[in-house]
Amino acid sequence: MDKLKIRFTEKEDCDYLKKWLSDKDILKWFPMYNEMEIDDAVRIWIAYSKINASLTALINKKPVGSALLYVQSFEKVKHHALFAIIVDSNYRNKGIGTKLINELIILAKEKFELEFLNLEVYAGNPAKRLYDRLGFTSFGMQKKCLKENDGYLDKIFMQKYL
């Protein structure tokens, strides 16, 4: 694989984020349902890039994945953050997700002084294996959280102390 580079997310990455979230195999693991909701999610993701709370992975200068810290400004909760990650389906299982999360952890500790990271993953999402491997632990579940055309998915809550 060509050299992987990680940089802060830029406004120009929004087209890739929209493309990835519009992929039905990726979208099924996110709560968005239609183009309007996807556009809103991309807008929010890019808004966090203004404070350098989002990273983008590049191969040959092409974005292949992104990870985001939903950092909080309220004093009582700014010691932790939820995060999200997307890796282009053509670049999965190549270490990109691992690299993005590891760099996000460094960013979380050094720039935002976070004490732990949280994530939410839907039952059956293959990315859960990655989170387990990187030391995230489950601490709860919300039954029937995501309603799909063919039934419901449970949401698993995970965290990692930094």
What residue spans define the domains of the chain? 4-122
For residue range 101-119, what is the model confidence (pLDDT) as tens digits? 999 999 999 999 999 999 9
Bridge partners of residue 70, in order along the sequence: 82
Query: 4-122 — its CATH code?
Result: 3.40.630.30
Residue 131 CA to residue 114 CA, distance in Å, equals: 18
For residue range 28-82, what is the model confidence (pLDDT) as tens digits? 899 999 999 999 999 999 999 999 999 999 999 999 999 999 999 999 999 999 9
The pTM (predicted TM-score) of the whole model is: 0.94
